[in-house]
């Protein structure tokens, strides 16, 4: 391929296009997995959602045990498909997860098992938290603490798509179906928020923080993603059931299978509690510093999902010797927009440093927009509403600083865990603000608009019990329109707006 063709292919692949090698690997994997609607295909959605045959005398966990046993069977074959698709050539963690998404969105347990599969006689890794999944060349640069949340986001997106098909595919004019449109819009916004946080965590260099082998953002993702998406899955189950899609349907079967598989990927309630305890122990140190001013200048590189990835993958896989990573990105120099690859800004600070300071700075920057501090158009009601909500959340974060300083005395106490929960949700809000601002680059991307971010922050405020700042435009209708449009056009429910092959 020569000339502009590779770049054009990548741009047709997604609204936020990946490097060509990543797009080709993902497309190859999608082809190898086959048609997801063909029940005769062992990797189709109906086949994967079908309950495992129960054996006489089996325990209630027979479904989970059957999924784990797939390490020597279907998961092993899927692991071989990852190698055949060229996943081992992709070094950067965020891009590797992006190339894995065709498998991850089909089945949580199969995707997690195949990625950590080590070959014949080596079962897939289970319940590995805070360590890199080193058993497979496909997963070596992706921390296991983030592999679970990334897989859960992808699998939940497939269930959301099934629910949206059920509502939009039978004629959106029916009042009985229209009532679920705002519910699915909120679920879509929550999913984008969780994926934003996970992507940022994957794009930053690892740094010492609440747990070994994972930074603060990874610990927050390990807790907040399964916690928030547990509510999302419950809402999707309600929508599917009310639309007549029970456990025997493809969507209902996918949801039931996903729920059974949560412990295998460490994204069940126990997995979330593990990371919540880590955060609770770290609260005093994380509350020790706060930026005195709002973050100014370009958003740090890890939040710019369309930009080159952070060099964490370079450390895992090495460089080619020509100053480029195997993904085709330059290393050891500034990116074209004048930033260091790790997200540091010359003369400033980046996510490679104190994550809590950067996230608080982004929350401050979002709040400053409520006062017109960014010099924007005061007539933009969406931006004004988003800024006002960010200011309300910033006030909540300031109120938590004093109790967080003493929370480490008993990190297992209910109060300490509650503080960790609230602080994690505030960091999720900061990640949403950072990703949205970075995507607001004049191209008119949905990710750069205010609707999904306003809806996501509204949900976060509701979970915190923080009152909304006042009258604001309702973002649910435009967010639902985006979701319904993606379902019709064959576009994934991800932050990149990836076009589906099948």
| Per-residue pLDDT tens digits for 315-374 | 333 323 223 333 333 333 323 332 333 333 332 323 333 678 888 888 888 888 655 444
89-140 pLDDT, tens digit per residue, is 888 889 999 999 999 999 998 888 887 765 444 444 444 444 433 344 454 5
Report residue 178: phi and psi, to 5°: -60, -30
Tens of pLDDT, residues 27-84: 999 999 999 999 899 899 988 888 765 433 443 444 444 444 444 577 778 888 888 9
* pLDDT in the model for residue 190: 98
- Separation between Cα atoms, residue 58 and residue 382, nearest integer Å: 54
pTM: 0.84
The pLDDT of residue 303 is above 70: yes
Structure tokens at 353: 């440093």
Window from 142-146, 236-240, 448-452, 480-484 with minimum mean pLDDT = 142-146
Helix runs in 58-215, H state only: 62-69, 74-84, 93-104, 108-115, 144-168, 175-178, 181-203
In percent, the amount of the chain with pLDDT more than 70 equals 72
Structure tokens at 85: 């698709």
Using alpha carbons only, how large is the chain's radius of gyration in Å? 22
d(CA 31, CA 19): 19
- What are the Cα distances from residue 361, in Å, to 59, 356, 390? 50, 8, 11
The residue to which tokens 């996510």 are assigned: 351
pLDDT mean across residues, the chain: 78
**pLDDT of 114:** 80
Q: Are 267 and 152 in contact (CB under 8 A)?
A: yes
Residues 376-385: b if buried by 16+ CB within 10 A, e if exposed: eeeeeebbbb
Residue 433 has pLDDT above 90, yes or no: yes
**If you average pLDDT over residues 207-215, what whole number do you get?**
53
What is d(CA 62, CA 108) in angstroms, rounded to the nearest whole number?
Answer: 17
> Do 153 and 105 form a contact (C-beta atoms < 8 A)?
no
Angle at which helix 476-489 crosses helix 181-203, to 10 degrees, equals: 80
290 close to 401: Cβ distance less than 8 angstroms:
yes
pLDDT for residue 70:
46
The residue assigned the tokens 């600070």 is 349
Angle at alpha carbon of residue 172, lines to 166 and 176, rounded to 5°: 75
What per-residue confidence (pLDDT) applies to 294?
A: 60
pLDDT score at 407: 79
- The pLDDT assigned to 224 comes to 97
Lowest mean pLDDT among 115-124, 378-387, 475-484: 115-124
Q: What is the DSSP letter of 446?
A: G
Helix axis angle, 216-242 to 269-286, nearest 10°? 140
């Amino acid at each position: 391929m020569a000339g502009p063709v590779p770049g054009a292919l990548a741009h047709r692949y997604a609204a936020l296009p990946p490097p060509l090698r990543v797009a080709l690997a993902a497309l190859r994997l999608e082809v190898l997995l086959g048609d997801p609607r063909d029940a005769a295909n062992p990797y189709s959605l109906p086949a994967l959602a079908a309950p495992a045959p129960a054996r006489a005398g089996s325990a209630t966990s027979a479904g989970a045990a059957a999924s784990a046993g797939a390490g020597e069977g279907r998961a092993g074959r899927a692991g071989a498909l990852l190698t055949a698709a060229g996943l081992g050539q992709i070094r950067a963690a965020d891009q590797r997860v992006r190339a894995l998404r065709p498998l991850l969105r089909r089945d949580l347990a199969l995707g997690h098992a195949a990625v950590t599969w080590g070959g014949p006689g080596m079962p897939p890794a289970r319940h590995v938290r805070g360590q890199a999944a080193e058993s497979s060349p496909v997963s070596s640069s992706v921390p296991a603490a983030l592999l679970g949340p990334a897989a859960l986001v992808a699998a939940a997106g497939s269930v959301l798509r099934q629910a949206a098909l059920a509502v939009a595919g039978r004629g959106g004019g029916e009042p009985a179906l229209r009532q679920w449109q705002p519910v699915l819009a909120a679920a879509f916004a929550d999913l984008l928020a969780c994926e934003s946080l996970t992507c940022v965590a994957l794009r930053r260099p690892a740094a010492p923080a609440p747990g070994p082998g994972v930074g603060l953002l990874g610990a927050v993702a390990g807790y907040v993603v399964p916690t928030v998406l547990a509510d999302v899955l419950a809402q999707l189950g309600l929508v599917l059931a009310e639309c007549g899609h029970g456990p025997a349907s493809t969507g209902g079967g996918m949801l039931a299978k996903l729920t059974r598989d949560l412990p295998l990927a460490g994204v069940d309630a126990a997995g979330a509690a593990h990371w919540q305890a880590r955060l609770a122990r770290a609260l005093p140190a994380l509350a020790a510093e706060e930026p005195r001013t709002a973050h100014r200048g370009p958003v740090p590189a890890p939040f710019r999902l369309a930009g080159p990835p952070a060099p964490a993958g370079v450390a895992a896989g090495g460089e080619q010797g020509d100053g480029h990573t195997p993904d085709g990105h330059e290393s050891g120099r500034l990116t074209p927009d004048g930033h260091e690859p790790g997200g540091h800004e010359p003369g400033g600070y980046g996510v490679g440093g104190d994550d809590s300071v950067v996230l608080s700075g982004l929350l401050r920057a979002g709040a400053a927009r409520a006062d017109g501090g960014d010099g924007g158009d005061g007539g933009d009601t969406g931006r004004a509403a988003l800024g006002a909500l960010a200011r309300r959340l910033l006030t909540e974060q300031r109120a938590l600083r004093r109790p967080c300083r003493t929370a480490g005395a008993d990190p297992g106490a209910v109060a300490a865990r509650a503080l960790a929960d609230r602080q994690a949700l505030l960091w999720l809000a900061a990640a949403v603000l950072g990703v949205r601002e970075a995507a607001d680059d004049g191209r008119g991307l949905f990710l750069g608009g205010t609707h999904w971010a306003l809806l996501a922050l509204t949900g976060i405020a509701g979970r915190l019990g923080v009152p909304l700042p006042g009258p604001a435009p309702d973002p649910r209708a435009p967010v639902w329109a985006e979701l319904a449009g993606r379902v019709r056009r064959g576009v994934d429910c991800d932050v990149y707006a990836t076009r589906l092959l099948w």
